[in-house]
Amino acid sequence: MTVILDPTAERSVSSRPRLARPARLDGLTIGILDIAKARGDVFLGRLAERLREQGHAVKQYAKPTNTRPAPLSLRQQIATEVNVVIEGLSD
């Protein structure tokens, strides 16, 4: 029988259940993350405006560039400041 060496990072797939979506947004702080794609700021800005009109607390964030993952400090900031996040994934 042939024995071979594992070419992967040997990470067993750990599936973590997603957090349940909140039934209502009342009382929650909503984060909006602009990933710096073209015109994402326009669309997300309008979304923030409409959510605020409905009385929600909204905090807006932006990645420095769409080409790299969000910096750790930004991810930590978002995680500590808001309850839910809306992220624009592409243009």
Contacts with another protein, residue ranges (CB under 8 A) = 1-11, 65-69, 90
Integer angstrom CA distances of residue 58 from 25, 26, 43, 81, 83: 11, 12, 15, 10, 10
CB 62 to another protein: min, Å? 14
Q: How far apart are CA 6 and CA 73, in angstroms?
A: 34
Residue whose CB is less far from another protein, 19 or 38: 38
Residue whose CB is less far from another protein, 4 or 19: 4
CB 30 to another protein: min, Å? 26
Per DSSP, the three-state class of 41 is helix
